[in-house]
Structure 1
Amino acid sequence: MTKKVSIKLENEQKLINDQELQQFKNHYQGDFYLKNQKLYLSYQDDAEGIDGAQTILKIDPSQERVLLLRQDPAAMKQDFSSGSKKPGYFKTAYGEIKLAVKTKSLVMELEAESGLIEIDYQVYLGGELNAEHRLKINYKVVN
């Protein structure tokens, strides 16, 4: 059964060659559902340059893993698994950029009507550390 949710995303990003910390906060309305023992959050991402791309978060509490998939026009895959470095990609108008995500910590507080996911991770481009991120996802079922 699909439920409507309010989703709050907060992302702190620090590029390795830049001392400035960038912060992004976004709010979305989306869907929440359970399928094959995994939780799913789905929403239209309206951040600049993304043009309403469908984004899905696949949350697997038993494997302590979160998979972020975004469709075109700004397709992206990031695979978060605590202590692991996983391949991913980001597609731009100029082509696909291969990346890797190393998850330093992944904390999930999941309940029937709400949840909090916090991910500290590093992004590698061309094998080199590019940025440090802290992603915080809050969701709550709305009636």
Structure 2
Amino acid sequence: MSKNVSIKLENIQEIIDDNEPQQINNNYQGEFYIKNEKLYLSYEDDAEGMDGAQTIVKIDPEQERVLLLRHEPAAMKQDFICGKKQEGYFKTVYGEIKMAVKTKRLEMEIGENSGLIRINYQVYLGGELNAEHHLKINYKILKGNL
């Protein structure tokens, strides 16, 4: 059974060779559900250029893993496992860009009606370090769903 949820994403990007970190904050309404002992957040990404792409965050507290999947038109896959470098991709109108993410820190505070996930990771494009990210995903089950 899914529950309505509010999701707040905060991402600070530090692009290599750029002295100015960029902060991106987005708020979404979506769904929260549990399947095979994994937690899922699902929402439509209405950020610029995403055109309502369906996004799924799969949270596996037991394996200490977070998988971020976004469907067309801005398809993306990022797999976060602390201390590991994982292959992924990002599709644009110009084609698919191969990338990898190396997770430096992954913290999860999962409660019955809310949760907070912190991920510090590096993005590699073409094997080269491109950026450092500090991502925070905060979610709360909306009243009426408790």
TM-score by length of 1: 0.99
Identify the residue that residue 64 of structure 2 maps to in structure 1. 64
Structure-2 separation of matches of 1:103 and 1:68:
13
* Shift, 1:95, TM fit: 0.3
Identify the residue that residue 3 of structure 2 maps to in structure 1. 3
Structure-2 separation of matches of 1:27 and 1:105:
23
Structure-1 separation of matches of 2:34 and 2:122:
28
Structure-2 separation of matches of 1:122 and 1:100:
8
Letter in 2 for 1:19: N
Residues 10-21 of structure 1 aligned to structure 2 (within 5 Å): 10-21=10-21
Identify the residue that residue 50 of structure 2 maps to in structure 1. 50
Letter in 2 for 1:16: I
Letter in 2 for 1:37: E
Letter in 1 for 2:136: K
Question: Once the two structures are superposed, what CA deviation does each residue of 1:28-69 show, in whole Å capped at 9, x if it has no partner?
Answer: 000000000100000000000010000000000000000000
Q: Which runs of at least 4 in structure 1 moved beyond 3 Å after TM superposition?
A: none
Structure 1: gaps of 5 or more residues: none
Aligned-partner SS, 1:62: coil
Structure 2: gaps of 5 or more residues: none
* Shift, 1:21, TM fit: 0.4
Identify the residue that residue 31 of structure 1 maps to in structure 2. 31
Question: Once the two structures are superposed, what CA deviation does each residue of 1:74-113 show, in whole Å capped at 9, x if it has no partner?
Answer: 0000000001000000000000000000000000000110
Equivalenced residue count is 143
Residues 1-143 of structure 1 aligned to structure 2 (within 5 Å): 1-143=1-143
Structure-2 separation of matches of 1:133 and 1:90:
16
Question: Once the two structures are superposed, what CA deviation does each residue of 1:108-133 show, in whole Å capped at 9, x if it has no partner?
Answer: 00011000000000000000000000
| Identity percentage of aligned residues | 73
Letter in 2 for 1:60: D
